[in-house]
Amino acid sequence: MAKVCIPKENIDSFKRAIKKQDIKMSDLFNMSTEQLTKKLKPYAGKNTKDVVLLFEQKRILKNKLLGMKNAVSKIGEIGRYDPTKKAEIKKALDEFKAQQRERVLSPKETENFYNALADKMLGIHVTKAEAKNFSILENKANKLESKIDINKTPEDAPIWREFASAKHLAVKYHTQLMEGNGDIRTLLKSFGSDTKQNFKEDKLIATGKLMVQVLNFISDLSITMKATWDNSFMGRQGMNVLKTHPSKWYPSAMKSNKDFIDTLRGQDAEAGLMIDVYSRRGFLSGEYQTAKIIPKSEEPIATRIPERLPLIGNLFKGADIAFIGNAIRVRMDLFDMFKKKALENGVKWDKAQIEDIGTLINSLTARGGLEGNVGGVLKVVLWAPKMLKASWDVRTAHTLGIGLKTKFARDEAYMNMAKIIGTDAMIMTLANAIKPGSAETDPRSTKFGTIQVGNTAFDYTGGAKSLAVIAAQMVTGERKTTGNKTITELGSGFGQQTRFDAIINFLTGKTKPFLNVLIQVLRGRTYENKKPTAGSVARGLFVPIVTDNAIQLKDDSSVSAVAGVMLDFLGINASTYPRSSTNFDLNPSDEMKEFKVKVGEEDFKKANEEYNKQVSLMLGKLDINSKYQVLSNDDKKRVIKSKKAKIKADIFRSYGFRKKRERPDRTPRI
């Protein structure tokens, strides 16, 4: 930070003012921001704002932070290299700093209003009137809270509702001060003004800063645009709750749909949600906070810019409220249920137990804990890494109980694991009983954990199947192809996919949209085996998943595909795709090049589409062919290769192109 000082030409006059008592240090520490600015401006000149900020920082801390650091330093003399000690010290300092931040916005009547400090610390400008309004709202909520005895006041007493309403108004006003409530034009104007000022100071640094800001904005916006616009919690993040505690899943799921619709109608569904939160004993007692089941934001929401857009802003906001509301309500209900069960069984209800129950609930609702440097890296690279960690936790009982401290929580974790795995096995068995082969039973296949209906695969694991697949492939060193269902070894030979390749593919599929699209561009092909274009890049970055699936209905409007889009809106991942997809333009042979020259670009594409359609139909028939199913893997591959060659030859012939004759092989007749 640059040195803050009075300009050299004014230093002598500043010193004389202090000596003559024209400026008293005691007065400076008791002046309001406006008075301080007026008093110091004749001496500080263009540096007035920075000098005022320095005084405000000093007077709000009043040497308490320095004293606290000295105190914890003395404590640290004993075992100061102990990571636990360091963590405790850091936590204490962070809590103290958080308290000082609150004083900036809600100072006591005897304290000053720290406007310059608010500009610096919070990146916002808060007027004295705004700070006063917030203080009034906060004081009202605090007075109502003091009238509630959480152990004696009945839950149906009006005071609970009064407090919850007042608390919501105070928190909402605070959020508006912190985030601002300007429209897109105001935000762009502010951004442009800040950027212009940065370029005036240092063009090189400003250019680098601008590039980072733009890339971060694109990344955050792409996450938001791809992941929202639906009510997906109930079928994705909430899937494990449905399998383990359906009585808690259903009420929250229904309320989330109501929240979505109410928001679209222009009603304040968020108010009802937060009043519900603040009027619960678990919140007022601090147990919800200790358990960390009420986070400030859910993982998928990276930026709220779309909420400010005209017309579609309410759709985004409705999806956001439905998602957050479903998550918070089901977590609170689960917490209350576990607490009641623990107390009825004589379990000691202490901080360790509350924290374990919070860990258990967060994992059940797709918020696994990610700590340390590794967790930080994963959050930067992967999309929803907490959900991935949660999938591991619930299916391994938190790594066989290692991730939990108390016996009660470990027992519940094992019970949840059994319910989830048992439910998945039952779904798989029933699906195959109704339609044999519709549910893949081999975890080496990427279709494991899905039910195939037509060309659409429905995921009944809430996205957790990928962990089982990669684990099975690593253990066996094999993978099962989705097209011809043959077993392929993960080897180290030329052209073979290795275990390392499998891991890279797994991680690539979990990356954030921006990085995922960049990988496709660098590879030179999309997941549909096509060359990346400006359109495909824009689609990969900004078109919502639900909308993207709906667009694909133009190529497949089957009942299963339509049902897939509808269920995808509710969080049940449904993938509709052709049984086989080959791009004639990728690594074309000399023969394919000749064919393209003969028929032209347009007919070449049509031939490619016809080829994929016929191959898809062929593979579908082989799925129900009993003779094919009993063949060895090598014979299956030869059958597929022979039939594909015939389809290609027939298409070439239909365009008047004579395919070169290939040497026949020993292929079983099917």
The residue to which tokens 């004293």 are assigned? 67
DSSP, res 511 = B
CA dihedral of 278, 282, 288, 289, whole degrees rounded to 10: 70
Q: Indicate whether 81 pLDDT > 50.
A: no
Q: Indicate whether 45 pLDDT > 50.
A: yes
In degrees, rounded to 5, the angle at the alpha carbon of residue 610 between the alpha carbons of residues 607 and 611 is 85
Q: Indicate whether 283 pLDDT > 80.
A: yes
pLDDT of residue 361: 97
pLDDT tens digits for range 236-273: 999 999 999 999 999 999 999 999 999 988 899 999 99
Identity of the amino acid at 558: S
Do 444 and 476 touch, CB atoms closer than 8 A?
yes
Tokens representing residue 291 in the block: 């358990």
pLDDT of residue 535: 86
Judged by phi (left if over 0) then psi (alpha if -120 to 50, else beta), residue 21 lies in left
Q: Indicate whether 600 pLDDT > 80.
A: yes
Q: Cite the beta strand spans of 165-293 per DSSP E.
A: none
> Average pLDDT for residues 296-301, to the nearest whole number?
47
pLDDT of residue 300: 43
> Average pLDDT for residues 368-378, to the nearest whole number?
69
Q: How far is CA 199 from the centre of its chain?
A: 33
The string of DSSP codes covering 58-104 is HHHHTTHHHHHHHHHHHHTTSSTT-HHHHHHHHHHHHHHHHHHHHHH
Q: How confident is the prediction for the chain on average, in pLDDT?
A: 81
Q: Which residues contact 264 (CB under 8 A, 6 or more apart)?
A: 314, 315, 318
pLDDT tens digits for range 536-595: 888 888 888 777 767 666 555 555 666 767 777 788 887 766 556 788 877 788 888 899
Tokens representing residue 270 in the block: 């968020």
Tokens representing residue 254 in the block: 């229904």
pLDDT of residue 470: 94
pLDDT tens digits for range 135-149: 889 889 989 999 999
pLDDT of residue 7: 77
> Average pLDDT for residues 22-29, to the nearest whole number?
70
Do 473 and 502 touch, CB atoms closer than 8 A?
yes
> Average pLDDT for residues 505-529, to the nearest whole number?
85
d(CA 418, CA 412): 10
CA-based torsion, 65, 29, 126, 189: positive or negative: negative
* Confidence category of residue 67, pLDDT binned at 50, 70, 90: very low
The string of DSSP codes covering 1-68 is -PPP---HHHHHHHHHHHHTTSS-HHHHTTS-HHHHHHHHHHHHGGGHHHHHHHHHHHHHHTTHHHHH
376 vs 423: which has the higher pLDDT: 423
3-state secondary structure at position 133: helix
pLDDT of residue 382: 85
> Average pLDDT for residues 505-523, to the nearest whole number?
88
Q: What is the largest CA-CA distance in the chain?
A: 109
d(CA 561, CA 549): 9
pLDDT of residue 74: 45
Do 424 and 461 touch, CB atoms closer than 8 A?
yes
Range with lowest mean pLDDT among 31-40, 134-143, 371-380:
371-380
Write down the domain spans for the chain: 1-124, 127-181, 228-433, 435-510+544-577, 590-654
Partners of 489 in beta bridges:
478
Tokens representing residue 327 in the block: 């998550």
Using alpha carbons, list the distances in angstroms from residue 277 to 244, 322, 530, 630.
Answer: 23, 15, 49, 59
> Average pLDDT for residues 186-200, to the nearest whole number?
73
3-state secondary structure at position 487: strand
Q: Indicate whether 63 pLDDT > 60.
A: no
pLDDT tens digits for range 379-401: 778 888 899 999 999 999 999 99
pLDDT of residue 298: 43
> Average pLDDT for residues 598-627, to the nearest whole number?
83
Quick one: how many helices (H) and strands (E) in the chain?
32, 5
pLDDT of residue 481: 79
321 vs 551: which has the higher pLDDT: 321
* Confidence category of residue 93, pLDDT binned at 50, 70, 90: low
Say what the pTM is: 0.73
DSSP, res 308 = G
Percentage of residues of the chain with pLDDT beyond 90: 31
Tokens representing residue 542 in the block: 């900004």
pLDDT of residue 80: 43
